[in-house]
Amino acid sequence: MVKSRVSKRERRVARLGILVLLVATAPARGDNVWEKFSGANAFAHVQNVVEMGPRPAGSDALEKSRGYIRSELEKSGWRVTSQTFTDKTPRGAMTFVNLVATFGEHPAPSFLLCSHYDTKTFDTVRFVGANDGGSSTGLLIEMGHALASDPALAAKVELVFFDGEEAFEAFTATDGLYGSRHFAEELRASGTTKQFHGGMLFDMVGNKSLDITLPPNSPPELTRAIFAAADALKLRDHFTYFQSDVTDDHTPLNAAGIPVIDLIDFDYPPWHTPEDTLDKISAQSLEIVGRVALYALARLELK
C-alpha cells in the first residue's frame, strides 16, 4: 500500500462531504411511523380500559375511560375536546360524549381515524367488551402515540372516539351509532364535510385468530391502500372480504360523503357475549392492524 499526502483543505472538504452524505441519508424524524406502533402498548391500554368493567353509554366506567383516553393522548401532545350531546334512546333521553383529538398548534386534519369506546348494555350479564369496544380503543390510543413521532403527519389526522355505537335494543335508524350519527350531522351543519377526504374505522381488531374482513362496499381506493400496505408488510393473509355489508360507525360518515373503510374482524364467536374477555385478544393482532393502517396512511394516503 502506498501512502499519499493530503492537504488540510482536502481533509476538511472530505469531512464536509461525509457530513452532507450522512445528513442526506439519515431517516427523517417520524420516518416509518408504522414501526413506532407497539402491540404490547396497545394491549396494555386495552387491559387498563377493560379492568374498568362494563362501559355502556352513560355509565361511570365510561366516564372513567374518557379520562384515561384523554390523559394518554395528552401525554403525547394531542389536544382532546369533548363533543357532548343528548339523544333519544329506547331508554329515554341520554347524554353521549364523543372525544375528538387533533395535533399541533395549527392542525389541518383531512383524514379520520375512528373507534367506538362504549360497550353494549346488558342487564343480566357482565359484558366487558375486550374486543368489541376495548381493542379498537387501545389501538387508537397507541396510534396517537405513534403518530406523535411525525408531527407533520399527525397534524393531518383527527382521532375520534365515538360514544353510543351500541344499540340499546336493536340497530335501527334511531337506535345505535349515536356518536357517529351526531358527528356526521355536525360536519354537515358546519359545512366542513369536504375537509375530510377519507378515514378508517377500527372495530373488533384484537382477535387472536385475526382475520380482518372488509365489507364488500368498502371505498375502493382505501381498500387498495390497505391491501397494498398488508402486502408490503407481508401481512396480507390477515386481510380479506366479508360476505355482506356491515352497519357500523363508518355508515353515517359514508352517507355524509366521507369515504371511510371499516377494519373489522366480524368472524368472532364471543361477540356480544360475556366471553368477550382479554384472553381472546392478542398484542400481535393489534400490532398487525396498527402497522398496516399506519403504513397505508403514511405511504399511500397522506404521503
Look up cell 381472546; give the residue.
280
Give per-10-residue mean pLDDT for the chain (303 aa).
Answer: 34 34 34 94 98 98 98 98 98 97 94 98 96 98 98 97 96 96 97 96 98 95 96 97 93 97 96 98 98 95 74
Q: Which of 159, 145, 156, 157 is nearest to 77 (CA)?
A: 145
Encode pLDDT of 110-163 as tens digits: 999 999 999 999 999 999 999 999 999 999 999 999 999 999 999 999 999 999
Cβ neighbours of residue 34 closer than 8 Å, sequence gap 6 or more: 146, 233, 290, 291, 292, 293, 294, 295, 298
Percent of the chain at pLDDT > 70 equals 90
pLDDT given at position 35:
97
Q: Which one-letter amino acid corresponds to residue 32?
A: N
Q: Which one-letter amino acid corresponds to residue 71?
A: S
The answer, as to whether pTM is greater than 0.75, is yes
- In terms of residue numbers, what domain contains 147? 32-301
pLDDT given at position 300:
81
pLDDT given at position 31:
73
Q: Which of 46, 44, 42, 39 is nearest to 130 (CA)?
A: 46
Tell me whether residue 278 is in a domain: yes
Tell me whether residue 36 is in a domain: yes
CATH number at residue 190: 3.40.630.10
pLDDT given at position 17:
35
Tell me whether residue 99 is in a domain: yes
Structural domain count, the chain:
1
Tell me whether residue 25 is in a domain: no
Beta-ladder partners of 94? 87
Q: How far apart are CA 253 and CA 12, in angstroms?
A: 59
Tell me whether residue 23 is in a domain: no
Tell me whether residue 148 is in a domain: yes
Q: How far apart are CA 75 and CA 141, in angstroms?
A: 11
Tell me whether residue 20 is in a domain: no
Q: Which one-letter amino acid corresponds to residue 192?
A: T
- In total, the chain counts a number of residues equal to 303
Parallel, antiparallel, or unpaired for β 111-116 and 78-89? unpaired
Collapsed DSSP state (helix, strand, coil) of residue 14: helix
Q: How far apart are CA 109 and CA 120, in angstroms?
A: 30
Tell me whether residue 4 is in a domain: no
pLDDT given at position 301:
77
